[in-house]
Amino acid sequence: MILFTFAIVFAFFISCKAFSSNVDDNDYNDINTLQVCVCVPYWQCKEDFSGLIEEGVGIVDIRSLLNSNQSEPPCTGDFDVCCKIECGKRRSIPKGENKNIGFRIIGADNDATFGEFPWMLGVLQDKTYKCGASLIHPQVAVTAAHCVGGRRPYKVRAGEWNWLVKDEPLPHQDRITKKVVIHPQYHSGTLSNDIALLVLREPFKLMENVGVICLPPKYLHLESQNCVATGWGKNSHKKGSYQTTLKKVTLPLVPRSICLRSLQEAMLGPSFILHNSFLCAGGVGNKDTCKGDGGSPLICPVEGDMGKYQQVGIVSWGLTCGVINTPGVYVNVLLFRDWIDNVMTGEGFDTNVYTYY
């Protein structure tokens, strides 16, 4: 999947027919406000219990607290404390693994490592891969509105890496959607406000390969920087094939004025106006998102916090895949932070799960 942005012009929606998978549902109790922590010795947790010290990752006992007033102690060890799981923590890459993510998203050099992006989700319908999504809460995912619709439930898979490998280090998990919340101002013709939340019947169990991504504050100023897109989409525009292994690609954010001019000159003409619900990234040859990547996240590093990422974009549409000076178009997540928070609060979920600031 060269992560090339999916679309040819607005009306080309992601109906990425890719993999078939047999999925099993696990039974979990319904929860409302979920607070998540891990039981670790106190020396492996930050002093304010706000997150793990890096050396503690991978050796923890995951616990889910139903509420902050739970009477039973979550941790039974003499020296254990309940340490908050941080959002947006990209898995550390062990020595010897490829750390370069700036190449084309073709070939093994651009394979993500297992569990590297633990918030990455696949959305399936009738055992067929539909699009990407990301986990912002153990029981809520965010995706593109054009990916979902209708009354039939979707299966959402977390912890997947290679769709054909059955013996990965940790198992994937599947959940069924309880509710699909599409932005009320979503327009299927122009794809403006192309965002939706998937509320799941049961929460995912957070593990080393399943975690949540941070969301940025609405006032964040997006400067020119390199960000990362992930997905299982096609590795070229017309004759490419869907990818079985999760891919990653580094893409620069593109200023709005430059993006608008590039899209006008590429195909859309001088009268085209880029809706303010979008941002742009890419425009670098052979590096992009593509058909099948719709709904997948575009993440950027959190300034001053090494290893932490926040989701600034959602793959929405594009004119082609991986063409120089033709950026891909993404949902600007910052503009929808209030809407996301309001939906989450209305459903009884804690917004602190994806808040880092």
Tokens of 11: 């009306």
Q: How confident is the model at residue 325, as a pLDDT?
A: 72
Q: What is the dihedral of CA 253, 257, 260, 265, to 10 degrees?
A: -110
Q: How confident is the model at residue 15, as a pLDDT?
A: 36
Same domain assignment for residues 137 and 197: yes
Which of 101-110, 118-127, 335-344 bottoms out in mean pLDDT, i.e. has the lowest? 101-110
Q: How confident is the model at residue 305, as a pLDDT?
A: 87
Of the candidates 259, 248, 194, the one whose C-alpha atom is nearest the C-alpha of residue 224 is 259
Arithmetic mean of pLDDT, 177-199: 97
Domain membership of residue 9 (yes or no) is: no
Q: What is the pLDDT of residues 86-117, one digit of tens each?
A: 899 987 644 443 333 222 233 345 888 899 99
Same domain assignment for residues 78 and 137: no
Same domain assignment for residues 135 and 201: yes
Cα–Cα dist 314/337, whole Å:
13
Element holding 258 (H helix, E strand): helix 256-263
Cα–Cα dist 246/235, whole Å:
12
Contacts of 121 (CB under 8 A, 6+ apart): 132, 133, 134, 135, 141, 143, 156, 157, 158
Domain membership of residue 250 (yes or no) is: no
Arithmetic mean of pLDDT, 24-29: 37
Domain membership of residue 205 (yes or no) is: yes
Which of 294-303, 322-331, 337-346 bottoms out in mean pLDDT, i.e. has the lowest? 322-331
% of residues, the chain, pLDDT over 70: 71
DSSP codes joined into one string, 106-133: SSGGGBPPTTSSTTEEEEEETTEEEEEE
Domain membership of residue 76 (yes or no) is: yes
Q: How confident is the model at residue 127, as a pLDDT?
A: 85
Contacts of 279 (CB under 8 A, 6+ apart): 222, 253, 256, 259, 312, 313, 329, 330, 331, 332
Cα–Cα dist 127/282, whole Å:
31
Tokens of 192: 């403006």
Binning pLDDT at 50, 70 and 90, where does residue 230 land?
very high
Cα–Cα dist 299/120, whole Å:
11
Cα–Cα dist 284/104, whole Å:
10
Q: How confident is the model at residue 150, as a pLDDT?
A: 79
Domain membership of residue 155 (yes or no) is: yes
Tell me the CATH number at 129: 2.40.10.10
Of the candidates 214, 209, 206, 211, the one whose C-alpha atom is nearest the C-alpha of residue 308 is 214
Q: Is the pLDDT reported for residue 287 higher than 60?
A: no
Q: What is the pLDDT of residues 246-265, one digit of tens each?
A: 999 899 999 999 999 999 99
CB 353 within 8 A of CB 300: no
Same domain assignment for residues 197 and 153: yes
Cα–Cα dist 248/1, whole Å:
9
Residue indicated by tokens 């902050």: 68
Cα–Cα dist 306/273, whole Å:
36
Same domain assignment for residues 127 and 65: no
Q: What are phi and psi of 125, to 5 degrees?
A: -145, 130
According to DSSP, the residues that pair with 253 across neighbouring strands are 281
Q: Which domain holds residue 164?
A: 118-212+337-354
Q: How many domains does the chain have?
A: 2
Same domain assignment for residues 200 and 349: yes
Domain membership of residue 218 (yes or no) is: no
Same domain assignment for residues 47 and 182: no
Cα–Cα dist 36/53, whole Å:
16
Binning pLDDT at 50, 70 and 90, where does residue 1 land?
low
Same domain assignment for residues 204 and 135: yes
Domain membership of residue 201 (yes or no) is: yes
Same domain assignment for residues 199 and 348: yes
Arithmetic mean of pLDDT, 18-27: 38
Dihedral class, residue 215 (left if φ above 0, else alpha if ψ from -120 to 50, else beta): beta
Same domain assignment for residues 202 and 349: yes
Domain membership of residue 349 (yes or no) is: yes
